Chain A
Amino acid sequence: MDALLQFLFSGLTVGAVYALVALGFTLIYNASDVVNFAQGEFVMLGGMITVFAYQAGVPLLLAATLAILITAALGVALNKLAIEPARGAPVVSLIIITIGASILIRGATQLIFDKQLHRFPAFSGDDPIRVMGATILPQSLWVLGGALAVFAVLWVFFSRTLTGKAVLATANNRVAAQLVGINTGWIMTLSFGLSAAIGAFAGVLVTPITLVSYDVGVTLALKGFAAAMLGGMGTPKGALVGGLLLGCLEALTAGYLSSQYKEAVAFIVILGTLFVMPQGLFGAKTTERV
């Protein structure tokens, strides 16, 4: 029982990060139908930039803010420099562009920073908290709380603000969105900036636990993608549930079977989802009259 709780704690922590990556996928997918495989790199950049700013003597909070802002700017640049000029190209081409961008970002990070593993101190120390026989790191609570806060803010954004509704409208019907006066190009820029910022935020939260190096983004993108598929591509709710579920599945697999199988879980989830319910858990079951 203690073991189960312990596995769930670690599963939820990792799952919260997957959920944030999946949310990044979802935002860009909704605005442009593109699956942005550079999403994992945003998480890595959040961690890396914070690490190096912190080592250079910048206070941690400021370093983290800086990392999130710089990454958001890079997300906007990715849209402006790579996606927008290729407008009108098939979605598959755009997806390949994002894969290229992810390779470029990894390479540049290697050159500008280095290839080592890094971390910075946890926000509230490293003394584990005991809960019913299991332990949880204070940083895990930061990760979970941070993820939930992001989802809450986004929920308010989409359901209560006109700009949020304009994003949903653009996702639903780009031409009609233009006809009511929505600048859909700007909505795409906003989505890329927001996704990058959310990714970087996840990187800032999780680096004290999992450490960061230039190549952690690849796995994260894959896991986040699996989480988004499981929850249903395009729904923030699906991203949250899919992420947490995938994290727990991984932790339980590692705990009860063997940690060697852990990495396979994401692949099995992708395949299983595609075979059994391609829409995912919360994917839109389109009921439309024509």
Chain B
Amino acid sequence: MLTVEGVRSCYGRIEVLHGIDLEVRTGEIVTVVGANGAGKTTLLKCLSGTQPISDGTITFCGESFAAVPAHKRLSHGLAQSPEGRQIFTNLSVEENLRLGAFLYADDRVQSDMDDAFAMFPILKEKRNLAAGGLSGGQQQMLAIARALMGRPQCLLLDEPSMGLAPLLVAQIFDVVKSLKARDVTVLLVEQNAFGALKIADRGYVMETGRITIQGHAPDLIADPRIREAYLGI
């Protein structure tokens, strides 16, 4: 579904991605784990088009993304729930969700919103409140729900567990896992390597702008290098 080949990207003159190769197949949950500053978020920004790439190709469903600007990628089926949640803080929860389905004006918008409220009941309770007043966990739920409103085939999730209490982290990971049943393919970027690998099919380990290890998630959890460096075991 999503193929990344030799992608390089720079901030100014400093190259932070040194040729990334990665593949996400239809129906998979794939995770990219790695330490802070490894370039994971930059990689996702390249995929969603909010960060320019200097080399390499991104192909989504057989189509090159080179000439597709950020705001058109959702209509191709690729959604991103960005790092730091990035919700519309001064709009209400409901307005945030409605804007998630900005591209659509049909009856499915309402049923999708009901789905989102069923998935995150707390959002329904707070539907008329300004999103900026939600707690961190609720904002994360809103960011995921908003991305799903765009009816993506593939969802890019950037650090959904960042800054959340352990109980909420578990809840968010459960939701990510449940996306599989909704036919949404997931690319999950996480510092919480153990939690991410547990729900993923395959994983990539990223270090300072390069993919260093890749494989099936259970193998990676068992890999001594990863256990030592990322799992703290």
Contacts and interface: CB of A to CB of B under 8 A. Distances in A.
Contacts of A178: 49-50, 69-71
Contacts of B72: 181
Interface stretch (A19-27, A136-144, A281-289): A281-289
A178 B82 CA distance: 11
A168 B90 contact: yes
Contact of A182 (B71, B82, B136, B139): B71
B103 A176 contact: no
Contact of A173 (B88, B100, B133, B147): B88
A169 B99 contact: yes
Nearest to B104: A181
A180 B102 contact: yes
Interface stretch (B23-31, B53-61, B73-81): B73-81
Contact of B87 (A166, A173, A182): A173
Interface range on chain B: under 10, 10 to 19, 20 to 34, or 35 or more? 35 or more
Nearest to A166: B102
Interface footprint category on A: 20 to 34
B91 interface: yes
A180 B82 contact: no
Interface string A251-290: 0000000000000000000000000000000001011111
B193 to A, nearest CB: 24
B67 interface: no
Contacts, number: 83
B136 A181 contact: no
A166 B100 CA distance: 10
B82 A175 contact: yes
Contacts of B136: 289-290
Contact of A288 (B100, B103, B132): B132
B98 interface: yes
21 contacts: A162-B99, A169-B88, A172-B91, A173-B86, A173-B88, A175-B50, A177-B99, A178-B49, A179-B86, A180-B100, A180-B103, A180-B150, A181-B74, A181-B102, A181-B103, A182-B102, A287-B132, A288-B133, A289-B133, A289-B136, A290-B136
Given A179-B80, A179-B82, A179-B86, 18 more contacts: A165-B91, A165-B98, A168-B90, A172-B89, A172-B90, A172-B91, A173-B86, A173-B88, A173-B89, A176-B86, A178-B71, A179-B71, A180-B74, A180-B103, A180-B149, A181-B71, A181-B75, A289-B139
Interface of B: 48-50, 69-72, 74-75, 79-80, 82, 86-91, 95, 98-100, 102-103, 105, 132-136, 139, 146-147, 149-150
Ordered nearest first, which 6 A-B pairs have the shortest CB separation? Answer: A176-B86, A178-B70, A181-B74, A288-B132, A178-B71, A172-B88
